A = this chain, B = another copy of it.
């Protein structure tokens, strides 16, 4: 029965390449369009290449640390971990690069296809996004299955997951800094000071802004989601393994999450065909319908698979299979619920966004205060959703049930990533349509597609955040089970009445806010630098504004690239270093508490940043749609301030927190063998308490 996993995964990879060819064959339009597309491609590739160089050093250092940690370990040979780790980094990096390349290839053909109407244009951009979604999820699942099949040991898969996570850490943080540096700077000078329209080609930051969309939302978001996806699979397999000492029962427990993931992947693939065949007029609705269809298909297919699994691998009780299948459905439900709550707090037909828009009439400060306080309030329903899903999943299958909830939530990741990658493609296609001097109706089609991408985003983000939280909960518990196995006499407890545990929890709690601060500072600093550069170009070359002289795009691209690369080093070291050092100093239990502390504040700050940012963004759009006086009023100026503050909140700091806590959890799991040998798992300092 388990053979269904590689078959479906390979099928997805195959379709990814089929869609890739479709996109590459499509007509990219006029010479002008191809030239500008070339700039974007070049910028994106230059960034990714330079990033991978830095990343390579980071991967080598971590590989050495892993080798040292597993040196002489009885259970797992060090080279197995090092190889899977490097494999994880390589496969994930390769899939990200291919997906990104297709993304920056699809923008111009999308614009050109608008000449044949909405469905044609939609298809190009949607297939372009689907490459990333199918390739990254398919390749990930295929590798997880292969490693597990060869070694029979989920712990070795942990190395693969950690490798994918290292990539995600760089992609998400680096991409997030890059995209918002360009966006904030382009808005501050272009829109506010010189009143240029969005994506105006006279703006020297225009290309950097386009590149940023791709490296942030395609490469970054894709890497982040696949990181959670693989981690949740591994954690659940590990939790399944800990439930029994009998080999066949272990295998049965480890098979269920693989089967659920395969079902989800198939559902995503079918969902993609459904969407592309049904598209008529409303692409936003088509995308969201696609998500719901994929979720429904997942329910049906996974039920079938579980039924077959229970027959072919009857080593565990049929009821146990079904209970954990149900836990997975609650995971899907929680993901949708968080998406809906996000929608409430950020939709401009609802109170939070409208009140934020109204407050803008009384100035910049009240816009900030109103949006921020709604961001804080939005923590409530989403966190309650996570609590309920966690509690029910626990009742259904204890920690293993929570693991399956996270697997369920992430099962339709193919759809989620596809929809997400759709956004920047259509966003870029709009700029290119203007470059190619397409007709107004054709540009309107690109516009329409762009806003469809934004609509789909609310649900995507809800999934990403909820999935991140549940995944790290699963990692937290699997870490504890693993510790019990390695040190059978050790008292594994995250009891906050112990001082080592309390120290761990406090350190963990402060990581997400400090990490966010570093990313926001990075955007802030680099955007200020770029603002200076844009002002310089406009002053020294007045022809740029008149359209008689070309703006120097390369300079802005360079500021964004080098800034993002420099500024992701410290946050990256923090996310791996903090659990590592805490474990060495305070031991196994402190690291468990560190993860718990990071989950608590991570989810809270993630929701705050994401939703406050979304509220500000849509409050601005609400005013720009002509409400409350429209453009040119104090309300509009204040709303633009809110939107600019919200940019790094919602697109840099907020989503990066997912990756952060996932990396922390995987670091803990990887280096547990190291912590276990220091004073019997207590670390260097705890014995003195």
> Can you list 12 contacts pairing A with B, beta carbon distance less than 8 Å?
A364-B641, A365-B641, A370-B521, A372-B520, A373-B524, A391-B503, A394-B499, A395-B688, A480-B497, A496-B592, A505-B600, A600-B600
In the assembled complex, how far is the CB of residue A656 from the closest CB belonging to chain B, in whole angstroms? 13
Q: In the complex the two chains form, what is the Cα distance from A373 to B522 in whole Å?
A: 10
Assess the A514–B376 pair: CB atoms within 8 A.
yes
For residue A689, give the distance in angstroms from its CB to the closest CB of chain B. Answer: 6
Indicate how many identical chains form the complex.
2
Q: Which of A70-78, A217-225, A382-390, A452-460 contacts B (4 or more CB under 8 A)?
A: A382-390
Chain B residues lying within 8 Å of A638, measured Cβ to Cβ, are: 364
- A593/B359 contact (C-beta < 8 A), A506-B383, A520-B369 known: no
A55 within 8 A of B: no
A387/B188 contact (C-beta < 8 A), A373-B521, A377-B514, A645-B369 known: no
A531 within 8 A of B: yes
**Centre residue among A374, A518, A601, A640 by max chain B CB count within 10 A:** A601
Q: Say whether A368 faces chain B, with CB atoms less than 8 Å apart.
A: yes
Tell me if A26 counts as interface (CB < 8 A to partner B).
Answer: no
Contact at B510–A380, with CB atoms within 8 Å? yes
> Is A487's beta carbon under 8 Å from chain B?
no
A648 within 8 A of B: yes
Whether A644 lies near B365 (C-beta < 8 A) is yes
Bound-state CA distance A521–B356 (Å) is: 11
Q: Please name the residue on chain B nearest to A184 by beta carbon.
A: B365
Q: Which chain B residues border A373 with CB–CB below 8 Å?
A: 516-517, 520-521, 524
Determine if A477 is an interface residue (Cβ-Cβ < 8 Å): yes
**Residue A523 interfacial (CB < 8 Å):** yes
Contact partners of A513 in chain B: CB under 8 A = 376, 379, 604, 608
- Per the bound structure, the CA–CA distance linking A369 and B495 in Å amounts to 37
Scan residues 465-513 of chain A and give those whose CB is less than 8 A from a CB of chain B: 473, 476-477, 480, 492-497, 499, 502-503, 505-507, 509-510, 513
The answer to whether A509 and B387 have CB atoms under 8 Å apart is no
Using a CB–CB cutoff of 8 Å, the interface residues on chain A facing chain B are: 184, 188, 192, 359, 362-366, 368-370, 372-374, 376-377, 379-380, 383, 386-387, 390-391, 394-395, 473, 476-477, 480, 492-497, 499, 502-503, 505-507, 509-510, 513-514, 516-518, 520-521, 523-524, 527-528, 531, 592-593, 596-597, 600-601, 604, 608, 638, 640-642, 644-645, 648, 688-689
- In Å, the complex CA distance between A600 and B509 comes to 6
Q: How far is the CB of A355 from chain B (nearest CB, A)?
A: 9
CB distance from A182 to the nearest CB of B (A): 15
- Report B-chain residues with C-beta under 8 Å of the C-beta of A604: 509-510, 513, 601
Compute how far the CA of A688 lies from the CA of B395 in the bound complex, rounded to whole angstroms: 8
Minimum CB distance partner of A595 in chain B: B496
Residues of B within 8 A of A394 (CB): 499, 689
Q: Least Cβ distance of A371 to chain B in Å?
A: 10
Which residue of the partner chain B has the closest CB to A383?
B510
The answer to whether B689 and A395 touch across the interface, beta carbons within 8 angstroms, is yes
CB-based contact A506/B362 at 8 Å: no
A179–chain B nearest beta-carbon distance, Å: 15
The CA of A362 and the CA of B529, in the complex, are separated in Å by 10
The answer to whether A387 and B495 have CB atoms under 8 Å apart is no
A383 proximity list for chain B (CB < 8 A): 506, 509-510
Q: How far is the CA of A26 from the CA of B518 in the complex (A)?
A: 53
- In this complex, what residue of B is CB-closest to A358? B528
Contacting residues, chain B, for A395 (C-beta < 8 A):
688-689
Q: Contact partner of A596 among B370, B390, B492, B505, CB < 8 A?
A: B505
Distance of A505 Cα from B688 Cα, bound (Å) = 27
Most B Cβ at <10 Å: residue of A365, A391, A510, A640? A365
Judge whether B645 and A528 touch: CB under 8 Å.
no
In contact, B188 and A514 (Cβ under 8 angstroms): no
Q: Which residues of chain B are within 8 angstroms of A492 by Cβ–Cβ distance?
A: 497
Q: How far is the CA of A648 from the CA of B366 in the complex (A)?
A: 11
In the complex, what distance in Å separates the CA atom of A391 from the CA atom of B507? 13
| Cα distance A638–B641 in the bound complex, in angstroms | 10
* In the bound complex, CA of A380 to CA of B601 (Å): 14
Among candidates B374, B601, B608, B689, residue contacting A509 with C-beta atoms closer than 8 Å: B601
How far is it, in angstroms, between the C-alpha of A670 and the C-alpha of B225 when the chains are bound? Answer: 45
Assess whether B499 is in contact with A497, with CB atoms less than 8 Å apart. Answer: no
Judging by beta carbons under 8 Å apart, are B377 and A188 in contact?
A: no
For A505, the chain B residues whose CB sits under 8 A away are 596, 600
B648 touching A369, Cβ below 8 Å: yes
* Interchain CB contact under 8 A, A499 and B390: yes
Complex A-B, nearest 6 residue pairs according to Cβ-Cβ distance, in ascending order: A376-B517, A365-B644, A494-B496, A509-B600, A373-B520, A364-B641
Given the complex, which residues of B lie within 8 Å of A370, measured CB to CB? Answer: 521, 524
- Give complex CA distance A20, B368 in Å: 43
Residues of B within 8 A of A372 (CB): 520, 645
Check if B524 sits within 8 Å of A387, measured CB to CB. no
Nearest B-chain residue to A503, judged by Cβ: B387
The residue of chain B having its C-beta at the shortest distance from the C-beta of A189 within the complex is B362
> Is there an interface contact between B520 and A376, defined as CB atoms closer than 8 Å?
yes
Known contacts A364-B364, A376-B517, A506-B387; is A369 also within 8 Å of B524 by CB?
yes
Give A535's nearest chain B residue, CB to CB: B362
- Residues in chain B near residue A473, CB distance under 8 A: 502
Cα distance A506–B600 in the bound complex, in angstroms: 6
Cβ–Cβ < 8 Å partners of A645 in chain B: 365, 368-369, 372
Asked whether, in the complex, the Cβ of A188 is within 8 Å of the Cβ of B648, the reply is no
Q: Chain B residues near A689: list those with CB within 8 A.
A: 394-395
How far does the Cβ of A660 sit from chain B's closest Cβ, in whole Å? 14
- Is the CB–CB distance between A516 and B188 below 8 Å? no
Give the shortest distance, in Å, between A639 (CB) and chain B (any CB).
Answer: 11
